[in-house]
């Protein structure tokens, strides 16, 4: 029996058990992280031949590696002989992957190249290469994988919304390319992974969760979020396909507000942008800045940061971030981005630790959550308790004032829970097996 | 090394004071021990890279450290409200270098912080690492020109690190 998701997720509320239930977690690992597309990494993380990084796609440990023909592969981090992990550090460079157990050797493309004492080996080398996700594809350097191999193409997963978000970030580079080479920092939080797509894109909490940051530093959030209802023109937007955004663009009062630096301080970058895009389009890009958005299920585009949301268990998540570096921008500009990332993100940042402790308090609050049918023993097919019962959380904020534009995108006030509903609507769709 | 026993004791006493102020979240007094050009660095891994070129957990100059402390002092920093219960031991103290011209000494020590995360999970967290100080005499008192904390867990995924390391 699988969980009755339609009974646990309504348009205006979701049930707390979805954050703690071990069956739900197992089903997510299957339906979202195995059968769907998942962000793996960026091609610039493996700039040279033989460069590799390790990642987790749900439960599947993988290696992202660039081979001798400059093809980027995603391979299972698991020897095809006896299952030993081949790489156990975060990153490295290799000519080939050799297992430490019996020295089976694999090429950078995953092909089985050598088996010691071949006299006793009668296997088929061609079929004993490293496992790999059924589909791997990339968009502007962002590598995604679908482990099961039977999801619709990446372009369909990203949809127009996800594609546009990645475009808007990459177009801030004078060469149209971002670079990820500042290192990743993992932040371990005792919460379910779904608190992160929620809180990373919640425009309602800033004035309270981040009150200490807001009262000690000057940030552009003053103009873009904190005015609250009607105090600014920012939007909470559902871009479809599980992707969503806090859109600050309508609120910016100056160019480069998102950078917190005037043109005079980053003139080289501004000139390079104008040289690439022409004065008019560069001007637009410099006003609009990067998106603050989420690509389902595990990629946060946090303005000039990326974060990967890695589920570890129902109550443990790693929020792993890095700073975006813009190819074609000067070194001083990119170092500014590193310093801004350090200020905001990670275990010691001025922002995210307060989200982390809030997520942990939510997890504590959900500890006893069980759907009404589990408590009463009623048949889940009858949806007993769906209309009442305990441990529901309310996500109705702004539902009655959402508007839908001509592209079918829903928009609310930046403080509205439009972004959270966008996540859950798609989650329900995927988890109910309707995709 | 050109350092006498009395100076060595003075330096040890200074490190123990610094540790106690950090343990007790006495932010104002702690930050008062810093030189104006202080660098407070908690690298993402070993301290074997130029912090300008990569991300670190903490990479504070005086201005950013002042912001960090000001944020903690608001009483609204949820990740440290209430403040973590902490005690640390500082051991294996060695004077590693003396620069008489600059009036500076470099001191290394091992440190273990025991932290109870009272803000949420209530778990006991251990933060073992290597601490390297560059200390300078300013108007007759020792001041911290640089403090580098190399956690042995650095590079792994870490929980909130919002207290004074």
Q: Which two tokens stand for residue A296?
A: 């389902």
pLDDT confidence band for A379 (50 / 70 / 90): low
Quick one: pLDDT at residue A231?
A: 85
Q: Chain B interface, mutation test: which of A331, A353, A361, most B Cβ atoms within 10 Å?
A: A353
Neighbours of A12 (CB within 10 A): 14
Intra-chain end-to-end CA distance of chain A, in Å? 19
Q: Label residue A89 exposed, middle or buried (CB < 10 Å: 0-12, 13-18, 19+).
A: exposed
Which one-letter DSSP state was computed for residue A136?
E
Please check whether residue B63 touches A, CB under 8 A. no
Asked whether A179 and B48 are in contact (CB, 8 A), the reply is no
Nearest CA in chain A to B73: A212
- Per-residue pLDDT tens for B32-80? 999 999 999 999 999 999 999 999 999 999 999 999 999 999 999 999 9
The pLDDT profile of chain B, 165 residues, written as one tens digit per residue, is 478 999 999 999 999 999 999 999 999 999 999 999 999 999 999 999 999 999 999 999 999 999 999 999 999 999 999 999 999 999 999 999 999 999 999 999 999 999 999 999 999 999 999 999 999 999 999 999 999 999 999 999 999 999 999
**Residues in B touching A180 (Cβ below 8 Å):** none
Helices (H) and strands (E) in chain A, counts: 13, 24
What Rg value do the Cα atoms of chain B yield, rounded?
16
pTM above 0.90, yes or no: yes
Task: Report how far residue A338's alpha carbon sits from residue B52's, in angstroms, rounded to the nearest whole number.
Answer: 8
pLDDT confidence band for A387 (50 / 70 / 90): very low
Neighbours of A403 (CB within 10 A): 10
SS (H, E, C) A182-202: CCCEEEEECCCCCHHHHHCCC
- Per-residue pLDDT tens for A84-133? 999 999 999 999 999 999 999 999 999 999 999 999 999 999 999 999 99
Task: Report how far residue A302's alpha carbon sits from residue A114's, in angstroms, rounded to the nearest whole number.
Answer: 44
Mean pLDDT value of segment A172-199: 98
Q: Is A79 helix (H, G, I), strand (E, B) or coil?
A: coil
Q: Which two tokens stand for residue B117?
A: 């995360």
Q: Which two tokens stand for residue B137?
A: 């005499």
Q: Which residues contact A204 (CB under 8 A, 6 or more apart)?
A: A397, A415, A416, A417
Please check whether residue B53 touches A, CB under 8 A. yes
Q: Which residues contact A415 (CB under 8 A, 6 or more apart)?
A: A203, A204, A225, A228, A229, A236, A397, A398
- Per-residue pLDDT tens for A319-377? 999 999 999 999 999 999 999 999 999 999 999 999 999 999 999 999 888 776 666 66
Q: How far is CA B64 from CA A149, A217, A325, B68, B143, in A?
A: 47, 10, 21, 6, 18
Asked whether B61 and B144 are in contact (CB, 8 A), the reply is no
pLDDT confidence band for A247 (50 / 70 / 90): very high
Pairing of strands A392-394, A325-326: unpaired
Q: Which two tokens stand for residue A151?
A: 């999801």
Q: Is the dihedral of CA A100, A104, A108, A109 positive or negative?
A: negative
**Residues in B touching A356 (Cβ below 8 Å):** 79, 159-160
Intra-chain end-to-end CA distance of chain B, in Å? 28
pLDDT confidence band for A230 (50 / 70 / 90): confident
Q: How far is CA B48 from CA A332, B41, B42, B44, B146, in A?
A: 21, 12, 12, 10, 15
**Residues in B touching A322 (Cβ below 8 Å):** 55
Quick one: pLDDT at residue A435?
A: 45
Q: Which two tokens stand for residue A103?
A: 């020295």
Interface of A with B in 359-388 (CB under 8 A): 360-361, 364
- Asked whether the ipTM of the predicted complex exceeds the cut of 0.95, the reply is yes
pLDDT confidence band for A236 (50 / 70 / 90): very high
Quick one: pLDDT at residue A389?
A: 57
Q: What DSSP line would sit under A236-252, residue for residue? A: EEEEETTEEEEE-GGG-
Quick one: pLDDT at residue B112?
A: 98
Mean pLDDT value of segment A258-281: 97
Distance, C-alpha B89 to centroid of its chain = 12
CB within 8 Å: A190 and B155:
no
Asked whether A136 and A143 are in contact (CB, 8 A), the reply is yes
Q: How far is CA A166 from CA A32, A42, A176, A219, B112, in A?
A: 21, 12, 11, 24, 43
Task: Report how far residue A295's alpha carbon sits from residue A34's, in angstroms, rounded to the nearest whole number.
Answer: 16
Q: Which two tokens stand for residue B144?
A: 């911290």
């Amino acid at each position: 029996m699988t969980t009755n998701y339609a009974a646990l997720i309504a348009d205006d509320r979701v049930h707390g058990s979805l954050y703690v239930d071990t069956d739900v977690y197992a089903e997510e690992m299957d339906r979202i992280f195995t059968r769907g597309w998942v962000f793996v990494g960026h091609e610039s993380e493996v700039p040279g031949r033989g460069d590799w990084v390790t990642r987790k796609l749900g439960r599947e440990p993988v290696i992202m590696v660039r081979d001798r023909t400059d093809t980027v592969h995603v391979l299972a981090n698991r020897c095809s002989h006896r299952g030993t992990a081949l790489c156990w550090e975060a990153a490295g460079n290799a000519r080939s992957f050799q297992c430490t157990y019996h020295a089976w050797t694999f090429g950078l493309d995953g092909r089985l190249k050598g088996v010691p004492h071949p006299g006793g080996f009668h296997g088929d080398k061609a079929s004993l290469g490293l496992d790999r996700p059924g589909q791997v594809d990339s968009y502007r350097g962002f590598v995604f994988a679908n482990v099961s191999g039977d999801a619709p193409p990446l372009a369909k997963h990203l949809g127009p919304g996800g594609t546009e978000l990645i475009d808007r970030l990459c177009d801030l580079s004078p060469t149209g390319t971002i670079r990820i080479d500042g290192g990743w920092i993992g932040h371990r939080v005792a919460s379910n992974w779904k608190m992160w797509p929620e809180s990373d894109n919640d425009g309602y909490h800033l004035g309270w969760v981040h009150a200490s940051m807001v009262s000690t530093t000057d940030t552009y959030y003053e103009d873009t979020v904190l005015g609250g209802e009607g105090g600014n023109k920012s939007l909470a937007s559902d871009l479809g396909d599980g992707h969503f955004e806090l859109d600050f663009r309508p609120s910016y009062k100056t160019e480069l507000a998102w950078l917190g630096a005037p043109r005079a301080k980053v003139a080289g970058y501004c000139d390079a942008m104008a040289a690439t895009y022409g004065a008019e389009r560069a001007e637009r890009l410099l006003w609009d800045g990067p998106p603050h958005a989420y690509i389902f299920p595990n990629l946060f585009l946090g303005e000039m940061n990326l974060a990967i949301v890695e589920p570890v268990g129902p109550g443990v998540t790693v929020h792993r971030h890095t700073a975006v570096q813009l190819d074609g921008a000067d070194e001083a500009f990119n170092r500014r981005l590193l310093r801004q990332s350090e200020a905001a993100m990670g275990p010691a940042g001025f922002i995210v630790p307060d989200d982390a402790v809030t997520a942990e308090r939510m997890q504590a609050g959900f500890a006893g959550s069980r759907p009404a049918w589990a408590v009463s023993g009623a048949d889940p097919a009858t949806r007993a308790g769906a209309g009442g019962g305990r441990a529901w959380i309310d996500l109705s904020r702004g539902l009655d004032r959402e508007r839908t534009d001509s592209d079918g995108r829903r928009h609310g006030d930046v403080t509205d829970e439009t972004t959270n509903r966008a996540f859950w609507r798609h989650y329900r769709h995927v988890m109910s097996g309707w995709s | 090394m050109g350092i006498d026993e009395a100076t060595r004791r003075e330096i040890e006493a200074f490190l123990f004071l610094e540790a106690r102020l950090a343990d007790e979240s006495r932010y104002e007094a702690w930050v008062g021990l810093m030189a104006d050009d202080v660098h407070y660095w908690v690298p993402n891994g070993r301290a074997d890279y130029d912090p300008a070129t990569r991300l670190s957990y903490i990479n504070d100059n005086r201005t950013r450290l002042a912001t960090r402390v000001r944020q903690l002092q608001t009483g609204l920093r949820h990740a440290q409200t209430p403040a973590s219960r902490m005690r640390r031991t500082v051991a294996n103290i060695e004077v590693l270098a003396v620069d008489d011209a600059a009036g500076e000494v470099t001191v290394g020590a091992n440190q273990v912080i025991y932290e109870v995360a009272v803000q949420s999970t209530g778990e006991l967290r251990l933060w073992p690492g290597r601490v390297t100080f560059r200390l300078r005499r300013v108007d007759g008192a020792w001041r911290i020109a640089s403090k580098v904390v190399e956690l042995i867990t650095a590079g792994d995924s870490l929980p909130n690190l919002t207290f004074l390391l």
